[in-house]
Amino acid sequence: MNWRTRWGWRPWPRQIRWTELTLRPDAFAIKTPVQWVYSAPKGDLIITAPIVFGRLHVLPVAMEFLKAYPDIDLRMVLTDRIVNLLEDHFDLAVRIGELPDSSLVATRVGSIHRVVCGSPAYFAERGALKSPRELGTHDCITFEWLMSANPWTFTMGKSDVSVAVHSRLIVNTAEAAIDAAIAGLGITRVLSYQIANALRAGALAVVLQAFEPAPWPVSLVYTRGRLLPLKLRAFLDFAAPRLKARISERAR
């Protein structure tokens, strides 16, 4: 009796099939000899974006994305409030402006300018501005978001200069500030894409362009993790180049 017979050893059957755990970045799945399981993006995706930018740029891209990925459902929250991705359970946020150091991962998709504008009728009555320091004699429309806070910052030479403004009207959305400026109530400061249509229509005019501060980056941000969910990776790969193209087309 040899040791194989004594200890009851039998060879593994040749037809057995092994399953292996695959950690490819593009597909977190169980791989079998027959098929990939859960290798297609699916599930609910929750994103947030600033109100005007989201409506003008993110929404059109999101609708294209949903047509390309029928197994993904999307919830998009448009708000000018900076949300906490973890606490508020968001998968991704579109952020405009410099990002603080954090555990978030950012993909930059472009940059936009902060512009000072008013209606042609307002400037005809009150005079066009030649220097940021003249803002103190004008009525301004401000809103409760970063770029419209008092004072306003400009670049003069190699230095940044802060100028206090008189807020004749304070609102809580860029759209309201733009509507008031079109109506001739005063001067406002917004992001360039927010007034693109009004500029083309001649309803608003931009002033102080030579003193504009450095443009703000536009980024897609998400929480850091060992593995990126397929649904989020699919959205990043789809949305990033399309948003870059849209922002670039409208840059001046």
Tell me, yes or no, whether 180 and 95 share the same domain: no
Residue 32 lies in a domain: no
Residue 248's pLDDT is what?
Answer: 85
What would the two tokens of residue 57 be? 């740029």
**Whole domain around residue 134: which residue ranges?**
114-211
Rg, the chain, Cα only: 27
Tell me, yes or no, whether 141 and 88 share the same domain: no
Residue 53's pLDDT is what?
Answer: 93
> Of 129, 141, 126, 145, which is closest to residue 209 (Cα–Cα)?
129
Among 71-85, 135-149, 167-181, 217-231, the least confident range? 135-149
Q: Which helix (H) or strand (E) holds 21?
A: strand 20-24
Residue 101's pLDDT is what?
Answer: 66
pTM of the model: 0.72
Tell me, yes or no, whether 106 and 229 share the same domain: yes
Q: What share of the chain is helix, strand, coil (3-state, %, to 5)?
A: 30, 35, 35
Tell me, yes or no, whether 63 and 85 share the same domain: yes
Tell me, yes or no, whether 100 and 189 share the same domain: no
Tell me, yes or no, whether 180 and 131 share the same domain: yes
Residue 220 lies in a domain: yes
- Scan for tokens 């304070």, then name that residue: 170
**Mean pLDDT, range 50-56, rounded to an integer:** 92
> Of 102, 54, 104, which is closest to residue 76 (Cα–Cα)?
54
